[in-house]
Chains A and B, each alone.
Chain A
Amino acid sequence: MTARRPIAIRGSVHTDLQHDSATKHVTGLATYTDDIAEPARTLHACLGLSTIAHGRIEACDLDTVRSAAGVVAVLTAADIPGVNDISPTGLNDEPIFAEDKVEFHGQPIFAVIAETRDAARRAVVKARIDYTPLPHALDPLEAIEKGYPHVTAPLTLRRGDADAALAAAQHRIKGQMAVGGQDHMYLEGQIALAIPGEDDDVTVWSSTQHPSEVQHMVGHALGVPSNAVTVKVRRMGGGFGGKETQMNIFAAVAAVAAKKLGRPVKLRPDRDDDMIATGKRHDFAIDYDVGFDGEGRIEALDARFAARCGFSADLSGPVTDRALFHADNAYFYPAVRLQSRPMKTNTVSNTAFRGFGGPQGVIAAERVIEEIAYALGRDTLDIRKANLYGGAGRDVTPYHQTVEDNILPRLIGELEETADYQTRRAAILAHNAEGSVLRKGIALTPVKFGISFTATWFNQAGALVHVYKDGSIHLNHGGTEMGQGLNTKVAQVVADAFQVDIDRIKITATSTGKVPNTSATAASSGSDLNAMAALDAVEQIKARLVAFATEHWQTDASAIRFAPNTVLIGDEAVPFPDLVSAAYMARVQLSAAGFYKTPKIHWDRETGTGRPFYYFAYGAAVSEVTVDTLTGEYRVERTDILHDVGRSLNPAIDLGQIEGGFVQGVGWLTSEELWWDAEGRLRTHAPSTYKIPLASDIPRIFNVALAEWSENPERTIKRSKAVGEPPFMLGISVFEALSMAVASIADYRECPRLDAPATPERVLMAIERLRGAESSA
């Protein structure tokens, strides 16, 4: 009699599985960088920041800083042995420490290294720096007006003759929309711990989405080759794009200090400094000019996207590019011209944030839809449907990629039904007609999001898998865990491929010493890339095991099958560890490096043509809101989401990404307001003043479902789709519902033209504006 074997492994793909660190999270045992036991003699650094927005540094008196209690050293640009630059795009426009001039309020000028973090912080404020102020420009329109340059080359996407089509259109509307930025407000702030080693070596533990870039930047700052620098990340307390490039300065300063002083150095800025000195989502000023027919079909769109990029390029090039790539959202533009204006401003250099410019493009498309609907007196959903990609000659994007897999008509149709959109909209119209103080709004908005880094070479990944002779598995890959469950998903893929329980797999810290030349964990690509690389490694090891088994058991490869925790070899069932052990004795290599690169994609930025995206991810949301027309305050009553993740690797984790992304998107468009004063000081620089959503801000009723019928037509990992960014844009449904409630004041005859974020103030002022227009009409 044979022992009963389990029919399935624990933790396979397509199953709900807890985040691999869930138990450690709830017990406080998950180790973040600041929780790592500090090596003996660890010192602490604090950055000294500019107190003006733009000016020349005339004198920098740091003597009182040096003599402050507990201070060991003060570092300035002169102390950087390599290059004083951390520009991620190699433009050499982002000094670690400002030398002769400062270009934003909060720009790092020096660093204090002290025995304790408290001593370092208290010493920093003793600096006396004399500046000669220069004129500054804070927002993109002001920058254009003052003749500021672009921080990076702008992009134009065009198809057809937009000017001619606009001139010929039956209807034409021009408008402008301001869209605010967003702070990442990851709960764990930026942090780096640098430990000096022998020769040129340094090891940096840090909370970064991009270990390879940190490695490169630390080497650049120290003037040493990359092989001297090891960067490690076990987990981050949130990233959202804010730790893609923004960790560079903290790691570079900690490493320079550690090598100079021969002691470990930790740099963890206070939340205020973190928010003041690191980049955010780009604010945009969007001009649009749309032509459309009597049915609301868009005939042409001409739009310009001016972005607040800050003092340096950072990732503003690809961010503003992606805004243009998504300025169609889900809609076909027969003739189109889209231009980016990546404006230099005297503010912190803006950076990646979930969606990476995409949301700002999508919201522009949705504003255009709104304009058309209010102009024609139609439901916005009708206008959306009329303009979806599809049908003969209506499937090419402004960047000349054909949309081959548009599932939005079905997805929107199902959501419209399940959310009971039409009935509820009718009830809302009736409610608003009563003229009460509380008005309601409802909106259904879709998203189509392109998946792949638009910098084609980033679409590669590596993994390293070891099988030890006891059958335990060590898994490592180039992606980083920031809460999104990447490690869990990759481990599921490995468990599935080996057909072993996931408990057999140990997920290990990302290290530049294990997998080199990695891309940032960004662009929603983490699982797509790294799980494929891990699978490649597993398949190599499996192939060797199979080759060994055919020889050892004298059987054909076709007679060997990886069953749950057991390998079936002919008639024999060999426990996985036994096979591994036997293979080891036969000198079989049980370790492999895997690799993956995304196929099919190409992009020519000069001509604005190509296939930048491997595929698209889709989703849609219906949100209903109630607005208090006396204060502008509001509440989200209900949201229904139907989202496409292909065949989900882990539905529970994907639902978490959708819920979380949606709420973060709502925050961006409602309560999260970045406010600079006239001197260029960010005054919303901590959670006391910068308000991200709370538990009480989420929809009273919140229904989220996966489009379970969807399967990625491309050969992605287990036919799944990326999920990190696309749901963020579903927050737009709340913004549009608020707009409808406001529009009720003027009987929906006028587009309210809400700017974002729609704070209670913006909502009330829009209401008062429409009231004024009504009473004077």
Chain B
Amino acid sequence: MAHRQEIRFLLNDRQVAIGDIGASDTLLDHLRLTAALTGTKEGCAEGDCGACTVLVGRLRDGVLRYQPVNACIRFLASVDACHVVTVEHLRAGEGGGLHPVQQAMVDHHGSQCGFCTPGIVMALYALWMQTPEPTRHQIETALQGNLCRCTGYAPIIRAAEAAARYGTPATDPLNTEREAVTARLAALQDGHRVEVARDDDRAILPASVDDLAAMLLEHPAATVVAGATDVGLWVTKHFRDISPAVFTGHLEGLQQIEVGDTAMRIGAGASYTDCEAMLAAEYPNLTEYWNRIAGWQVRNMGTVGGNIANGSPIGDTPPVLIALGAEIVLRRGEARRSLALEDFFIDYGKQDRAPGEFIEQIIIPRRANGTHHAAYKVSKRRDDDISSVAAAFNVTVAEGTVTAARIAFGGMAGIPKRAKAAEAAIVGAAWSEATLLTAAASLDDDFAPLTDWRASSEYRMQVARNLFRRFWLEQGAGDAAARLSA
């Protein structure tokens, strides 16, 4: 197989080809230090402030899709065959002047110090392209990944509400030039594996999922980089050597989503955003939960497979997926094996994954009759925060009696974990508040949570118990007003 030894992408209106590039080079450094596009700012270098927000357009099944992402933790190698759009590329449609989103921000006094502003403009630009007349909730969702310390957001929200009055996406250059850009990106997709390096810092972009499997057999110690929303910090904050890094974000074969008769299958490379609609259709209670996973930029980059493979005790998706009875498919070379997700997590920092093995797919059962579902995330700040406690309930009730229960927690132990004692207390008992409160009381047998900066042990335990009561109020007593919703 022929290998290409440079990455090629479109940066605003010009094509860039770079061979001298390491795995750990970030898109943001390229923009600011090499391309001298200093409109994109670095505020935190960890994907939490959004000052570095840019749009990345990529062909997906031949269709060009732009999404806002964090350039600070996006590795440069991963934008191969993409169109990177920075704030400098925003243009007015006919008539000149500022772009509608920019003009709305100016007119509504949406900037004070201005440092977060380019990132906010890019997030609002992405929102406007997708939803020109957004609701307040849609605006807040679009801004989950953007911090502003000056304005208190009120004028920014007013600008977002007004943006549609300044122009429509139909005449936006990204739309009017869509065909041409699609053709240019298609021309960049040559089907080759890409291998680039600077000194010892090597990045590999496999040509296909099969090539990925082969590469990992060849380099079992390689770092698999999917959305880079965590690996990015290994580099920007901890200077970890990730070479050789095998990138997977471009592999469409790893992003497929299928809804079958009995199960839904999610490619491990599908982003949180990719999965959102399918999961919400099947499990409506996940809509709110999913919206609280990180911020918009990170949901566009991060993958469900990465969230699992990472092994964190505070990942958002594992408790939910464990409660739903998800399985994962692990692949090593041509060999595949299935594993109940809960069994993947062995201990803190230890997962059931062999060298050279990678998660290929996540299989989630379809919703069964008679089941009650809930997923709760409790965090210090509502949006874009890591949970103090995450809880997911999946309880089957037949004729007033609980016949099965899967209850999983995050933030309560060194791994995402089922509450086995609580489940045992429920199964076979009457579907009642008393049963759930009894189960809540048995959480001490399941968990001894830690105290850290997110929450104390006592609080985690108290909240975990109280969530049993919430589950009853919502699913048993039918009290929909018992929760603060966005």
Q: Point out residues on A near B: beta carbons under 8 Å.
A: 18-19, 21-32, 34-35, 37, 118, 121-122, 125, 184-189, 235-240, 270-272, 436-438, 482-485, 626, 628, 630-635, 652-653, 655-656, 659-664, 671, 673, 675, 677, 683-684, 686-689, 691-698, 702, 704, 759-761, 764-765, 768
Contact = CB atoms under 8 A, between A and B. Distances in A.
Nearest to A635: B484
B484 A270 contact: no
Most chain A beta-carbon contacts within 10 A, residue among B36, B109, B383, B458: B109
A24 B39 CA distance: 9
A238 B45 CA distance: 17
A760 B380 contact: yes
A531 to B, nearest CB: 18
B283 interface: no
Interface stretch (B76-84, B86-94, B331-339): B86-94
A660 B148 CA distance: 9
A510 B266 CA distance: 56
A702 B88 CA distance: 33
Contact of A764 (B48, B386, B463): B463
B114 A186 contact: no
Contact of A630 (B117, B388, B458, B469): B469
Interface string B80-117: 00000011101000000010011001110111111111
B239 A238 contact: no
A697 B469 CA distance: 26
Contacts of A24: 114
A490 to B, nearest CB: 16
B46 A659 contact: no
B149 A686 contact: no
A652 B140 CA distance: 23
Given A660-B150, A695-B156, A28 B87 contact: yes
B376 to A, nearest CB: 8
Given A187-B41, A696-B144, A760-B378, A22 B109 contact: yes
Nearest to B97: A23
A775 B456 CA distance: 24
Contact of A238 (B37, B86, B113): B113
Contacts of B98: 23, 26-27
Interface string B117-150: 1100100000000000000000111011011111
Given A26-B102, A660-B151, A660-B152, A694 B144 contact: yes
Contacts of B146: 694-695
Interface string B29-59: 1001000111111111111110100000000
A765 B482 CA distance: 19
B410 to A, nearest CB: 15
Given A22-B106, A27-B39, A702-B154, A186 B113 contact: yes
Given A237-B113, A437-B479, A696-B143, 4 more contacts: A26-B101, A239-B113, A660-B149, A671-B380
B476 to A, nearest CB: 14
Contact of B152 (A628, A652, A698): A698
Contacts of A21: 111, 114
B466 interface: yes
B484 A626 contact: yes
Contacts of B239: 121-122, 125
B51 A187 contact: yes
Contact of B112 (A270, A635, A660): A660
B114 A185 contact: no
26 contacts: A25-B105, A25-B111, A26-B110, A26-B118, A27-B98, A27-B102, A28-B39, A32-B41, A34-B42, A37-B36, A118-B29, A187-B115, A187-B149, A188-B115, A438-B481, A628-B483, A630-B469, A631-B466, A632-B459, A652-B109, A687-B147, A694-B381, A694-B384, A696-B143, A697-B383, A768-B462
Contact of A695 (B149, B153, B467): B153
B170 interface: no
Nearest to A760: B380
B423 to A, nearest CB: 20
Given A28-B88, A702-B154, A764-B463, A694 B143 contact: yes
B38 A695 contact: no
B49 to A, nearest CB: 5
Contacts of B41: 32, 187-188, 237
A193 to B, nearest CB: 13
Contact of A656 (B39, B40, B155, B481): B155
A280 to B, nearest CB: 14
B237 interface: yes
Contact of A23 (B88, B106, B152, B236): B106
Contacts of B384: 694
B463 A687 contact: no
B152 A662 contact: yes
A270 B469 CA distance: 44
Contacts of A238: 113, 115, 149-150
The 6 closest A-B pairs by CB, nearest first: A28-B39, A483-B113, A237-B115, A25-B114, A663-B152, A483-B112
Contacts of B44: 271, 686-688
A237 B114 contact: yes
A687 B48 contact: yes
B385 interface: yes
B412 to A, nearest CB: 14
B118 A764 contact: no
A236 B113 contact: yes
B484 A28 contact: no
Contact of B46 (A235, A626, A631, A688): A688
A41 to B, nearest CB: 15
A702 B115 CA distance: 24
B445 interface: no
A630 B374 CA distance: 15
B113 A35 contact: no
Interface in B469-485: 469-470, 473, 479, 481-484
B157 interface: yes
B1 interface: no
A484 B152 contact: no
A694 B382 CA distance: 9
Given A28-B118, A437-B482, A663-B152, A683 B452 contact: yes
B155 A659 contact: yes
A271 B43 contact: yes
A630 B453 contact: no
B469 A694 contact: no
A230 to B, nearest CB: 23
Given A695-B139, A698-B153, A698-B154, A633 B484 contact: yes
Given A27-B98, A760-B378, A761-B388, A683 B453 contact: yes
Contacts of A438: 481-484
Contacts of A694: 140, 143-144, 146-147, 153, 381-384
Contacts of A698: 152-154, 157
A318 B87 CA distance: 42
Nearest to A762: B459
Contact of B105 (A26, A677, A761): A26
B25 to A, nearest CB: 9
A633 B378 contact: yes
B213 to A, nearest CB: 33
A27 B87 contact: yes
A21 B150 CA distance: 15
A16 to B, nearest CB: 8
A671 B376 CA distance: 19
Nearest to A757: B380
Contacts of A696: 140-141, 143-144, 382-383, 486
B38 A28 contact: yes
Given A19-B112, A691-B381, A764-B462, A26 B150 contact: no
B86 A28 contact: yes
A19 B151 CA distance: 12
Contacts of B381: 671, 691, 693-694, 697
B453 A26 contact: no
B482 A686 contact: no
